[in-house]
């Protein structure tokens, strides 16, 4: 699919699977195949203000290590570039996309399965999956809202974290104090909703601490309520309606 996360230019340098990645599966998760918790047991909703919220469900995906390994081995990992104030710079992480269609045998079954369970709970059709690979603490993503907020009025963005825990922060759009800090990893689910992509921004900062690799499986939807004045069409390389 020709789609990408917020602020990312589609052109990129193919990087392939990174060599020498310091990946250590968790002993607890060893051998389990990927399986989502359809009960969403333990989910907590954090309200950032009257209209924006973040759901956090720890341990939502069992067998997350197996999915990490499958995605690492089969992803078309690319280092993409991002437009900044002073030009276009390579993103400090790798990214790979998947079409989450159950009928495609090359797609790990956990991806369409996560999409359908999330769609049933949240009432939208999650149909786009991009996976970010943070190789170590030097990889990060800067403060940003997601681009679907420029098209949809209330976009939902779900993220399933695999591997090491990294800090995931939210602050008011444009700056201000951090209002919510999560440390997702090991199969945890984070869903941003309401006006989150309009009024708030998020980041995964770099860390000097020794950390293993982390993946964020980001799950978005192409159909939803459009912002006033927007018509169905292609925006930022994605077909929205
Ligand atoms: O890695 C994460 O949890 C956040 C990813 C993200 O914000 C993005 O790709 O736009």
Q: For 29-60, what is each residue's pLDDT tens digit?
A: 767 889 999 999 999 999 999 999 999 999 99
Q: Is residue 19 part of a domain?
A: no
Q: Is residue 37 part of a domain?
A: no
Predicted pLDDT at 92: 95
Predicted pLDDT at 9: 35
Q: Two tokens at 98?
A: 């998947």
SS (H, E, C) 66-126: HHHHHHHHHCCCEEEEEEECCEEEECCCEEEEECCCCCCCCCCCHHHHHHHHHHHHHCCCE
Please name the residue whose Cα sits nearest to atom 1 of ligand 1: 216
Predicted pLDDT at 147: 94
Predicted pLDDT at 20: 66
Predicted pLDDT at 24: 81
Domain span holding position 203: 43-223
Q: Is residue 5 part of a domain?
A: no
Q: Is residue 151 part of a domain?
A: yes
Predicted pLDDT at 96: 96
Q: Two tokens at 215?
A: 């993946």
Which residues, listed in sequence order, are joined to residue 216 by a DSSP beta bridge?
132, 161
Please name the residue whose Cα sits nearest to atom 10 of ligand 1: 5
Cα distance between residue 138 and residue 77, in whole Å: 17
Q: Is residue 26 part of a domain?
A: no
Please name the residue whose Cα sits nearest to atom 3 of ligand 1: 216
Number of helices and strands (H, E) in the chain?
Answer: 3, 18
**CA 33 to ligand 1 center in whole angstroms:** 24
Please, are residues 196 and 52 in contact by the beta-carbon 8 Å criterion?
yes
Helix (H) or strand (E) holding 64: helix 64-74
**CA 15 to ligand 1 center in whole angstroms:** 19
**pLDDT tens digits, 193-210:** 999 999 999 999 999 999
Which residues, listed in sequence order, are joined to residue 44 by a DSSP beta bridge?
56
Q: Is residue 10 part of a domain?
A: no
Predicted pLDDT at 177: 98
Atom of ligand 1 nearest to the CA of 95: 9
Q: Is residue 159 part of a domain?
A: yes
* Domain CATH code at residue 217: 2.60.120.590
pTM of the model: 0.90
95 lines ligand 1 (CB under 6 A): no
Predicted pLDDT at 18: 65
Predicted pLDDT at 5: 35
How many structural domains compose the chain? 1
Predicted pLDDT at 22: 81
216 lines ligand 1 (CB under 6 A): yes
155 lines ligand 1 (CB under 6 A): no
Atom of ligand 1 nearest to the CA of 146: 10
Which residues, listed in sequence order, are joined to residue 45 by a DSSP beta bridge?
55
Rg (CA), the chain: 17
> What is the block-wise mean pLDDT of the chain (241 residues), using blocks of 10 residues?
32 50 78 90 98 98 95 94 84 92 87 96 96 97 96 97 97 97 98 98 98 97 96 94 97
Q: Is residue 67 part of a domain?
A: yes
């Amino acid at each position: 699919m020709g789609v990408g996360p917020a602020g990312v230019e589609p052109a990129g340098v193919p990087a392939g699977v990174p060599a020498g990645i310091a990946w250590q599966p968790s002993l607890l998760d060893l051998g389990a195949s990927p399986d989502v918790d359809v009960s969403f047991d333990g989910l907590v909703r954090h309200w950032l203000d009257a209209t924006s919220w973040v759901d956090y469900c720890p341990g939502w995906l069992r067998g997350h290590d197996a999915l990490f390994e499958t995605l690492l081995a089969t992803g078309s990992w690319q280092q993409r570039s991002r437009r900044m104030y002073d030009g276009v710079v390579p993103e400090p992480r790798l990214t790979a996309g998947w079409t989450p269609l159950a009928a495609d045998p090359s797609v790990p079954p956990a991806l369409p399965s996560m999409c359908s369970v999330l769609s049933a709970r949240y009432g939208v059709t999650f149909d786009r999956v991009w996976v970010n690979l943070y190789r170590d603490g030097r990889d990060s993503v800067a403060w940003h809202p997601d681009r679907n907020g420029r098209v949809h009025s209330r976009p939902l963005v779900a993220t399933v974290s695999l591997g090491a825990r990294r800090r995931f922060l939210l602050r008011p759009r444009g700056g201000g104090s951090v209002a919510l800090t999560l440390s997702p990893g090991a199969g945890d689910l984070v869903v941003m909703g309401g006006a989150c992509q309009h009024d708030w921004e998020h980041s995964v900062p770099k860390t000097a601490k020794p950390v293993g690799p982390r993946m964020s499986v980001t799950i978005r939807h192409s159909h939803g309520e459009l912002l006033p004045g927007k018509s169905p069409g292609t925006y930022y390389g994605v077909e929205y309606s």
